[in-house]
Structures are given as structure tokens and as C-alpha cells.
Chains A and B, each alone.
Chain A
Amino acid sequence: MIEVLSNAALATIQDQGRQGYLRYGVGTSGAMDRVALAVGNLLLGNPDDAAGIEIPLFPFRVRFTEDVAFALTGADCSARLGKRPVLPWWTLQAKKDDVLTIGVPASGARCYLLLKGGVDVPIVLGSRSTQLRGEFGGFLGRQLQKGDVIQAAAVESAYTEKEGDAAGFGVTPPSWTLGGLETSPVANPADTVVRVLPAAEYEAYEQDSIEAFWRESWKVTPQSDRYGYRLGGPVLNSKRPVEMRSHGIVPGVIQVPPSGQPIIQLRDAQPSGGYPKIGTVIEADLWRLAQARIGSKLRFVQTNYEEAVDALDELDRYMTKLRHLVGLHRGDRP
């Protein structure tokens, strides 16, 4: 249904992740920005578990080999279908031979291209997400390359364009509803703020390291990717050397290796590790992290468990509302 025209773009097929195989050493993978993937599927009326294409490097071009509806969510990347601009957080009908050009985003780090019916690749261990380390899942277990042809799952009925549909429709971005998070008045508004729960080794850190952790802005260094974000900032020192036994971790865990520079473990991280953990970015804020670009700054805000669970509920309510709104608008469309 689409042919990849760009090379070496680091793009991968992802759904919401591969659950239940951590005990075999298989991490969840899945979309870094789960909200963008979910909203894209909603716009198309796809099942929630439909897979899409995560695009972290730009520009990225694909050619539609058949008529198909698509959606583009995540960062605003000045996309064009042929010559026509494609708005962010939008769904549109593509015609055979249309070329979609996804440009460099003005802000944000990655965008998601969804196809009607979802990307059709085999389900491996319960998911279509790409397991890069294990080289399975997604598109042949690897990043997309020029010449790859990606199919969408068949839809029941052929699309018949209704009057007024040609320009498509969209939704406001999540930040419009969910907002940015406040830190201190002196914080740079361009910094990405995420909420963090202290982890088991939090108390093991020197007091001034702990203060620096919350106070400073942390740079997302170029060595940051789906495995983890390596951060640059003050060196975090523990009171005593900490040598830990290997234990399970999840995306969001902030490890501190001996260098003292924290690493936020993300979707392709190892499912276990042995470095001390100072905190965990809450699951409800991982989508914000996903849109923090290399070179940008992060700030951590301390939260508690109840607030973190409330934040997940807030996300759920947002998705439910969108589902309702979009469902009403899509009405009797296939």
C-alpha cells in the first residue's frame, strides 16, 4: 500500500507494545508516543491495536501504491501530499501514486503515519512492534529502508468519498487538552517537563545530587534514541558505590551508571538492568518525553503515586472523549 522512498530513516513499525514476555528477556518495544499512535488509529476508525509507522528522522517520503486513507500525528512536520499541505493530527485520503513528504518538524521529535486498517505485518509473540535487538516483529525485525513496500490490512468496504471529505479532518494536539506541566517560574518554557516518582535507590544519593536532579534542566544528548535518553547535566553522586543485582525495569526508569549521568530507559531498553535507579518517569508522561528532541532540555517534577495514577486516568478520559467526538464525526463512514 505504501512504498518507502527514503533511506536510513530509522523508521519502524510499532503498535502499543509486546506485553507479557519480559521473563524471556523480550522488552515491550511499541510506540514512544503512545498518544500519537492511539489518536491516529482513532482518526481512521482502526482497532486500538493497529500498528503504524514511527518516524524519528526527517525528511521521510513514501509513495502510496493504492488509494488508502491515512493519518499523521505527533510532531508538526510540515507534511505534503503531492503539493497539498497535510495538517498535523489529521486524516486524509491518499490516491494511488500520491507521494507523502514528511519534513523536518519545527518542534517535537517524532511523528506517526497510520494507514486505514493498520499496517499489515505478522504478529510475533502477540504484537506487531519491532523488536530490534531480537531482529523480529514489525517489518522483518528492522528499520524501514528505501524500496520497502508496506501493506495495510484490508478494509471491508471500498471507500466512497463523501462531499466535503476531500480536505479530511483532524483533532487538536494532546498538549492543547493535557497542557504542559509547571515547574518553577525561572524554567525555560521550551523545556519538556515530566513527573517522576523516586525509585528504590533515590535515598542512596548525596543531598546536593538529589537537589540538582530536581532543580536543573537536563540535556537530551545525541546518544539518545528508543533504547534510552542519555542526559547531560550535573554529575549525580551516590553516598557509597552501588553495585546491584540484575532486576526487572520498565520504560521510564532513570538509571545512573558510574559516570553519574542519568539515562532514562525507554521502549527498546533492556527489560532488566543492574545500575542504580534514582527515579521513574511516570507512564502518563512518557508521550511528552517522546517528543523531546535531541539537544532539548528536560526538567523533572516530583510527584506521588496517587497523582501519577490520576494522570493515567486523565489520559484515559482524554482518549475516551476523543473517541466519542471522532466517532460522532465519522458517523456512518466505513
Chain B
Amino acid sequence: MTQGKELQISELEQITGWLETAGIEFIEIGGKGAVVRLTLERQTLERQTLKGKSAVNPQPAPSVRETQVIAVSPGVVLTCHPMRSTPFVEPGAAVRQGDVLGLLRIAQLCLPVVAPCDGVVVKWLVEPGATVGYGTTLMTLAPARHL
């Protein structure tokens, strides 16, 4: 890998292609000393549904002591690893900071959704298979139980 790899125009084209396919309208890509912001402009803003999976659910206002787990990337939400059928976590599970709660899949790439702190899983706020954008709240964690 070369150091300081810049985003090539061909790569930008590919990324916009993915975004269009996935129905994502806005993405920021940070790099060394530069941020690329892509916005897909449409005549009408439509809520897109993908193959029967619902899009992002309306998000309830989080309770004061709950922690939000935020998507740090766009992608398709996976609650199980593609090779497994048991979910990473179930509601009520105790998790530690750094635990993998789920995955965000962009094509074949799998990025971890990571617990930002110790806590207890309340629930997923998005459906498995939903496509989310950067910054979407994916899950809430209740404060860790004191054992």
C-alpha cells in the first residue's frame, strides 16, 4: 500500500455508483488533510426501500442515561456475521467497550459496529439488512449493570 493514497477519480466514480445503488444521498469521506463530501441531488427526495427491507426507522428520543451507537460509515446493517446464524448480541446482553455489536457491509467489506462504552443492549433501531447512512443511530445501550 502506498502512503498517502489519494482518492482517484475512478474510485470516486465507483463510490458514487455504490451510493446510488444503495440509495444513500450523502457521504463524507475523510482522508489525510482533506474531506470529500458527496451529495446525490435528486428531483424529488424519495424514501427508498430495498428489496422488502424497510429503511431507517423513525428514531425515538433517547433517554438521558442511554448511549447511542452511531454508524461511522454507510452500509448494510448485519446483526449476524455472514457465516453465522446467531446474532452478535441480543437485547439485554451485557457488552464491554470495544465489543462488536454488528457489522456494516459495503459490498464485500465488513466494518464493525463497536460498543462505545460498557453497557446493556436495549435494542437495534434498524432492521437487519437495512442500508444506513453515516451518523445513523443503530442501537441504544443502557448503562452497565453493576455486578
Chain A residues engaging chain B, CB cutoff 8 angstroms: 45, 76, 84-85, 87-90, 157, 164, 166-173, 176-177, 321-322, 324-334
B4 touches A173 (CB 8 A): no
Interface contacts (Cβ under 8 Å), in number, total 71
Number of interface residues of B (CB under 8 A): 26
Within 8 A of A (CB), among B75-99: 81-84, 98-99
A276 to B99, CA, bound (A): 54
A84 to B115, CA, bound (A): 13
B52 to chain A, nearest CB (A): 19
* Residues from chain B with Cβ under 8 Å of A329 in the complex: 109, 111
Chain B residues engaging chain A, CB cutoff 8 angstroms: 1, 3-5, 11, 14-15, 31-32, 72, 81-84, 98-100, 105-112, 114
A334 to B4, CA, bound (A): 9
Given A321-B107, A329-B109, A166 and B98 touching (CB < 8 A)? Answer: yes
B83 touches A330 (CB 8 A): no
A334 to B15, CA, bound (A): 22
17 contacts between A and B (CB under 8 A): A76-B81, A85-B100, A87-B81, A87-B112, A89-B83, A167-B98, A167-B100, A169-B112, A171-B110, A173-B83, A321-B108, A325-B108, A327-B1, A328-B11, A328-B15, A329-B111, A334-B3
B107 touches A325 (CB 8 A): yes
Chain B minimum-CB-distance residue to A169: B111
* Residues from chain A with Cβ under 8 Å of B110 in the complex: 87, 89-90, 169-172
A89 to B81, CA, bound (A): 10
A270 to chain B, nearest CB (A): 34
Chain A minimum-CB-distance residue to B3: A332
A29 to B14, CA, bound (A): 37
B31 touches A171 (CB 8 A): no
A166 to B114, CA, bound (A): 9
Partner of A332, one of B32, B107, B108: B32
B108 touches A171 (CB 8 A): yes
B112 touches A167 (CB 8 A): yes
B34 to chain A, nearest CB (A): 11
* Residues from chain A with Cβ under 8 Å of B81 in the complex: 76, 87-88
A90 to B111, CA, bound (A): 10
* Residues from chain B with Cβ under 8 Å of A177 in the complex: 108
Partner of A333, one of B1, B14, B109, B114: B1
